[in-house]
Amino acid sequence: METNETALAGVERMRIVGGNHALDFANTRVGQPGGPVDDDILVTYDDLVAWSVHVGAMTDADATALHRRAGRDHAAARTALRRAVALRDELDRVFRAIADGRQPAPRSVGAIREAEAESLARASLAPADGTFAWSWAGDRSLDRPIGPVVHAAIELLTGGPLERVKACGGCSFLFLDESKNRSRRWCSMEDCGTDAKMRRFVARRRSAASPSRRPGSCRARS
């Protein structure tokens, strides 16, 4: 098993830009739009725990307890990781369909609902800002990291705003468009947005430098 520090260093290269735990979880693998996966954050169970700490869904103390349990039962940890990755597939299918303006497959929605029922059975209701909220602080199972993820997915599906779920134009990330006019096209202006601007700039420079497109110019003849 990896050390906690090694796993955390691995997941910290991922930008948290989804605006929702479920979308950020789907974004733990990335590639070009519609293309193959270039990078996958979740390779080991320790990566899964480290990601949960990275997005603020788990405390360091909870993570340490899970690392110890996973170290005692490697087979169970691998099984928990497979379940988490399978859930990630369903989340991606559902929210990518919504981003594309399509109805998600009932089978995928049902898989998320079943995962939510199982995770709530391990959760408790705890006071939070004058009300109560679901908490997985007492969950000692190896499936603990996916509790807040699947609950965030259900809250987004039932409460929206689903019309703001979008797919990045530069990579495979999903995100909530929180701009006032809902015109955001990129998961992050620092990454994909900047890359797109640079591509447009280079294309304009090439176009301006092309003799065949320069007004009044002509090609050399042999």
**171 shares its domain with 203:** no
Q: Is 31 helix (H, G, I), strand (E, B) or coil?
A: strand
Between CA 149 and CA 91 the distance in angstroms is: 10
Number of domain units in the chain: 2
3-state secondary structure 120-186: HCCCEEEEECCEEEEECCCCCCCCCCHHHHHHHHHHHHHHCCHHHEEECCCCCCEEECCCCCCCCCC
**141 shares its domain with 198:** no
**15 shares its domain with 99:** yes
Residue 148: asked if its preceding bond is cis (omega within 30°), the reply is no
Q: What is the pLDDT of residue 12?
A: 77
- Give the CATH number for residue 41: 1.10.3300.10
**44 shares its domain with 147:** yes
**46 shares its domain with 134:** yes
**65 shares its domain with 167:** yes
pLDDT in tens, the chain (222 residues): 555 565 556 777 778 899 999 999 999 998 888 888 888 999 999 999 999 999 999 999 999 999 999 999 999 999 999 999 999 999 999 999 999 999 999 999 999 999 999 999 999 999 988 999 999 999 999 999 999 999 999 999 999 999 999 999 889 999 999 888 888 888 876 768 554 444 443 344 454 455 554 434 333 333
Contact 82, 43 (CB under 8 A): no
Q: What is the pLDDT of residue 5?
A: 60
**176 shares its domain with 195:** no
The distance in angstroms from the start CA to the end CA of the chain is 68
Q: What is the pLDDT of residue 7?
A: 58
**108 shares its domain with 163:** yes
Q: What is the pLDDT of residue 4?
A: 58
**87 shares its domain with 123:** yes
**171 shares its domain with 192:** no
Q: What is the pLDDT of residue 222?
A: 35
**147 shares its domain with 209:** no
Domain hosting residue 77, numbered range = 4-181
**43 shares its domain with 101:** yes
